[in-house]
Amino acid sequence: MTEMVDDAETLIKRIFPICRSITGDGVRQTLSALKEFSDFEIKEIPSGTKCYDWVVPSEWNIKDAYIEDSSGKRIIDFKNNNLHIVNYSIPQDKILSFQELEEHLHTLPQMPNAFPYRTTYYKKNWGFCISHNQFKKLDRNEKYHIKIDSSLNPKGSLTYGEYVIKGDSSDKEFLISTYCCHPSLANDNVSGQVLWTLLLQELKSRKMYHSYRFIIIPETIGAIAYLNKNEKAMKGVSGGFVITSVAGKGNFGYKRTYLGNHLIDRVVEKTFKELNLDYIEYPFDANGSDERQFSSPNFRIPVGTICKDKYCEYDYYHTSFDNLEFISASNLVETLKLYLMSIEKLEMNVIPKSLNPCCEPMLSKRSIYPTIGGQIRQRAVDFNKNHKERRYEVSGGRSIGGNELDAMRWVMFHSDGETSLMEIAEKTGFSVEQLYETTKKLEKHKLIKIQKK
C-alpha cells in the first residue's frame, strides 16, 4: 500500500498544474501522463460532431491571460493559477475602465481569500476569477489592460481515454468512469483521475471474472459523446461507478445509484459495514456528475459514487482552496481500497447451484466435516482478526457468521441456481469473501456448480 500512496502522490503532483477543459491540449497532456502509468487508448471526437441533442464544441486552448494596470504591472496572471481565467474564455486584448472590467470579474465574498472556478463553455464570453479581498483593493479610477491569448478551433476535437478489461468467464460488464475537464482543482477532480488510473492498473494485474469498461472523459459533453459513439456497448453495461472527489480531509460518502438498492449499492454498503466505517449516505440526485447521462432513460445504467468529501458538500468545492493542501495521497488510497473491496464483491457474486439438491450431502465421506461430533458451535474464535471471518449479528441477535461448517450449510441451503452470494451474505451475515471460499471448496468437491448469470 505504501507503494500505491507513493504512486498516487507522484500522479497528483504531475497532473494538478495542467490547465484542463472539456477539450484541448490540457486534456491530452493529462491523459498522456496517466497513460504512461497505466496504458489505455486515447481517442478524439471532432468538433462539430452531433451527439444526440448536443454538438462537440470548438477546441479551446490557452497560452496566457492577464490583467495589467496602467503601469504595466500584472495584477492577475493565469500563469500563477489557471483558475484565474474563466474556462473557455474567448480571446481579448483591450483597455477597459474598472466599471467595464467589473462585469467580467468573479469573486467569493463569503471566502474572501479564495477565488472561484468558473466556465463559459457554450456562451461566447470571457472573465477572470480573483479573490474578493483583491477585488476590493482595485483602483476604481484605473484603466486596465486585458489580455487573453486563447483560441477556439472549429476543426479541433474532444479527447478521451478508454480501456476495456475483458473478464474471463462472465458476460457482465461494469463501467468505471471519471472526468478530466477540471483545471487545477485537487479533490474535484485530480483525485478522481488518479484513483481511476491506479484502479485500472490494479485490476489489469488481476484475473477478472467480469469485464470492466474504464473511461476518462470531459464531464457532461464527454459522457454524452461517449454514449452516442458507443450506444450498443453501453446499453449492455450492468452498473458502475463515477469516480470523483476521493481524497479530501472530511468524511467518506456514498451517492446511491438511481435504483437505490442495486447490486452496486449493496456491495458498497457491505464494504463499509465490514470495515465498520462511518460514511454519509447520499440518495440518488439528478444533479451531480455523469451518472445522470449514464442512467438516462435510454441507458439506465445504475451508477454509484464513493467519495471522500463529496463534490458540492465541502466548503472549498470549486474554489482555489481545493488545492494540494486539501487532499492527500493516503486519503486517496483509503478510498481506492473501498472501490477495490466493492469490486471484489462484484467479482465473487456468483450463483451456486446444488448438484446434490435432495437433502444435504454427506460431508464426512468427503473429509469436509469435523470428525469428532459435539464440538460444533463451541469454538471461541477471535473473528475480528481477519475481516474475511468477521462475525455479524443478524436479526434477533443470533450470531451465525464465521463458522465454516455453517457457511457450507448456508451455501448449500441456498444453492437453488437463483440466489447469488451477495443475497446469501445479506440473509446470513457472512461476508461474501467467506461464502466465496466455501463455494469454491464445495465446487471442488462437486457438490455445487457455479451458475453464470
CA pair distance 147, 68, nearest whole angstrom: 8
CB of 3 to Zn ion, least distance (A): 29
CB of 101 to Zn ion, least distance (A): 26
Among 168-176, 183-191, 319-327, 415-423, the segment contacting Zn ion (CB under 5 A): 183-191
For Zn ion, give the closer residue by CB, 101 or 327: 327
Per-position DSSP letters for 59-110, written without gaps between them? EEEEEEEEEE-TTS-EEEETTT-GGGBPBTPPPEEEEEEHHHHHTTEE--TT
CB of 16 to Zn ion, least distance (A): 15
Yes or no: say if 241 and 312 are a contact pair by the CB < 8 Å rule: no
CA pair distance 290, 299, nearest whole angstrom: 12
For Zn ion, give the closer residue by CB, 82 or 238: 82
Among 21-29, 182-190, 262-270, 298-306, the segment contacting Zn ion (CB under 5 A): 182-190
- Total binding residues toward Zn ion, as defined by CB under 5 A: 1
Residue nearest to Zn ion (CB): 188
CA nearest to 57, candidates 159, 179, 185, 128: 159
Cell representation of residue 213: 469498461
Residue 120's contacts (CB-CB under 8 Å, 6 or more residues apart) are 86, 87, 88, 89, 126, 127
* Residue found under cell 470531459: 218
For Zn ion, give the closer residue by CB, 188 or 290: 188
CB of 188 to Zn ion, least distance (A): 4
For Zn ion, give the closer residue by CB, 201 or 220: 220
For Zn ion, give the closer residue by CB, 188 or 269: 188
Give the one residue of 173, 188, 274, 309 binding Zn ion; rule: CB under 5 A.
188
For Zn ion, give the closer residue by CB, 242 or 264: 242
Residue 92's contacts (CB-CB under 8 Å, 6 or more residues apart) are 126, 146, 147, 148
CB of 243 to Zn ion, least distance (A): 13
Among 19-27, 50-58, 186-194, 360-368, the segment contacting Zn ion (CB under 5 A): 186-194
CA pair distance 441, 368, nearest whole angstrom: 9
Contacts to Zn ion by CB under 5 A: 188
